[in-house]
Amino acid sequence: MSTTDAFAAMRESGVVAVLRGAQPETVVDTAEALVAGGVTALEVTADTAGATDMIATLSEALGDDALVGAGTVLDSETARAAIAAGAEFVVCPSFDEGVVETCNRYGVLCAPGVMTPTEAVNAYEAGADLVKVFPAKTVGPDHVAALKGPLGHLEIMPTGGVSPDNAADYIEAGAVCVGAGSALVDRDLVEAGEFDAITERAEEFRDVIERARE
C-alpha cells in the first residue's frame, strides 16, 4: 500500500486505535470489534511482547478490512521488524530520524511524535507523512489549532488522553484524525470478553468525529 493510501485510510477511520498490552488470544476479536464499529486503522504497540507476530496475525486476519500498523516505535530496528511483519504504518511517541528514514526506505507511512513547532518541522523535513502530537492531553485542542496557524500544511494526529468527549474538539482544531488507546480499547473490557462494548466505543468515537467534520 502506498503512503498516500495509508494516509487516506487513517483519515477515513478518523480514529487510530492503539492496542497496548494486547494478548495473542484476544487480539483478533478486539480488532474485529473495532472494525465492526467503523474503526479501521489500528496499531499494535511495539512494547508488547509478541507485537510483531500480532501485527502479522492481524494483517492476515483483517485483510483489506483494516489498516494495521505498529505503535511506540522508538528505533529503526523496531520499525524494520514491524514493516517486515506487515505493518502498513508506523507511529512513534517521539521523533527519531532513523525511524522516518527506515519507513521511507520501505515506502511505509510514518507518524513521529512531536510537541513543538520545531519538532514538527524537523519531522516533516526528515520525511514524516503526518505528526502525532503527543501527549495531546497536556496541551489540548488549542495547541493543534495554534500549530496549524503558521504550519497549515502539517497533518496532525493528536494522541494521549483522547476520548469521545474531546475528539470533536481536536478535529475542529484541525486534526486529520486522532489516536485513542485506553478510552477505546479498554483492557478491562477485553479481559472480560466484552467485545460488543468495544464496538460501541468505536461507534461512539466515529459518530462524534463524523459530526465534527460536517
User: Is residue 164 close enough to count as binding ligand ELE by CB under 6 A?
Assistant: no
Told to check if 11 binds ligand ELE by CB under 6 A, we report: no
DSSP designation for 63: G
Dihedral Cα 180, 183, 189, 194, nearest 10 deg: -80
Q: Give least dist CB 20 to ligand ELE, A.
A: 5
**Binding test (CB under 6 A) with ligand ELE, winner from 14, 37, 69, 93:** 93
3-class secondary structure, 49: coil
Q: Which three cell numbers stand for residue 35?
A: 472494525
Q: Measure the CA angle with vertex 17, ends 13 and 20; round to 5°.
A: 165
Kindly report the CA angle at 208 between 205 and 212, in degrees rounded to 5?
Answer: 135
Q: Which is nearer to ligand ELE, 148 or 187 (CB)?
A: 187
Give the DSSP letter of residue 89. Answer: E
Binds ligand ELE (CB under 6 A): choice among 109, 133, 147, 180: 180
Looking at residue 11, the DSSP 8-state letter turns out to be: H
User: Should residue 181 be labelled a site residue for ligand ELE when binding is judged by CB under 6 A?
Assistant: yes
Binding mask 28-67 for ligand ELE (x = CB under 6 A): -----------------x----------------------
Give 150 or 165: the residue with its C-beta nearer to ligand ELE: 165
Residue 90's CB is within 10 A of a number of other CB atoms, namely 30
Contacts of 77 (CB under 8 A, 6+ apart): none
| Chosen residue from 38, 69, 141, 160 binding ligand ELE by CB under 6 A | 160
Which residues are the active-site residues?
43, 132
In angstroms, give the least distance from the CB of 150 to ligand ELE. 25
Q: Does 140 bind ligand ELE (CB under 6 A)?
A: no
Contact, 145 vs 175, CB < 8 A?
A: no
Q: Note the residues at the interface with ligand ELE (CB under 6 A).
A: 18, 20, 45, 71-72, 91-93, 134, 159-162, 179-183
